[in-house]
Amino acid sequence: MAKYPFISDSEKNYKALMGQYISTWSSVEWGLYELIKLIYRIHKPTENLKNGAIPLSKKIKLLEKLFHELPSLSEEFDEMVAMIDFVKNEQNFRHNLIHGVNAQIMKKEPWYQLMWRPEHAEDVPTKDEDVELITEYLILEHYDKINHFGLCLLGLKCRLVDQYEKATSS
């Protein structure tokens, strides 16, 4: 029986995990956008937020600016900084998972991705220790982290809405 487009069940499982991770990552990016929209509705109702897609780097900069400038968000500032740091670090894993590294070193199977470890390589990876194999286990580990991040993001949005409702009902 043909397994097209997959070479083996192992490749099929690996790519399914990649898809699961990537689709969950998109909910992280959407959640950040929704957080920005919420902040604008609550704290900047007279200003218009740009319609359409906002690149992740701009979402991060905008959130940093909003949480730094708005005194009403000061209680959540440290949490937002930690969340932004997580997203910055995780976006590197996401990039490596999707695009891999231009190196065929130590690939267990041709479809596995490699993650460049710049702390071990000066420029282009040329040795085994320059790269890390992205395994199914590593994808699942990161998948769990971004699922947890989504819950943290939801909790932050709920607290902001709750603070707003308390402030306006008094």
Q: Hey, which of 25-29, 123-127, 130-134 has the most confident mean pLDDT?
A: 25-29
Res 128: pLDDT: 66
Helix, strand, coil % over all residues of the chain, rounded to 5: 70, 5, 30
Q: What is the pLDDT of residues 28-68, one digit of tens each?
A: 999 999 999 999 999 988 888 877 788 999 999 999 999 99
Listed by start position, the domains of the chain span 9-169
Closest CA to 142 of 50, 44, 20: 20
CA distance 50 to 120: 40
Res 121: pLDDT: 45
Q: What is the pLDDT of residues 88-117, one digit of tens each?
A: 999 888 887 887 665 555 455 555 565 655
In this prediction, residues 131-144 reach a mean pLDDT of 86
Q: Are 114 and 105 a contacting pair, CB within 8 Å? A: yes
CA distance 69 to 82: 17
User: Would you state the structure tokens that stand for residue 96, as one six-digit string?
Assistant: 């490596």
Angle 77-99/56-69 helices, nearest 10 degrees?
170
CA distance 42 to 37: 9
Q: What is the pLDDT of residues 68-84, one digit of tens each?
A: 999 989 889 999 999 99
Element (H, E) at 113: strand 113-116
Q: Please give, one letter per residue, the 3-state secondary structure of 126-147.
A: CCHHHEEEECHHHHHHHHHHHH
Say which residue the tokens 């932004």 belong to: 84
Residue type, 99: H
User: Would you state the structure tokens that stand for residue 32, as one six-digit string?
Assistant: 């950040």
Say which residue the tokens 């192992």 belong to: 10
| This prediction's pTM | 0.80
**pLDDT higher than threshold 50 for residue 120:** no
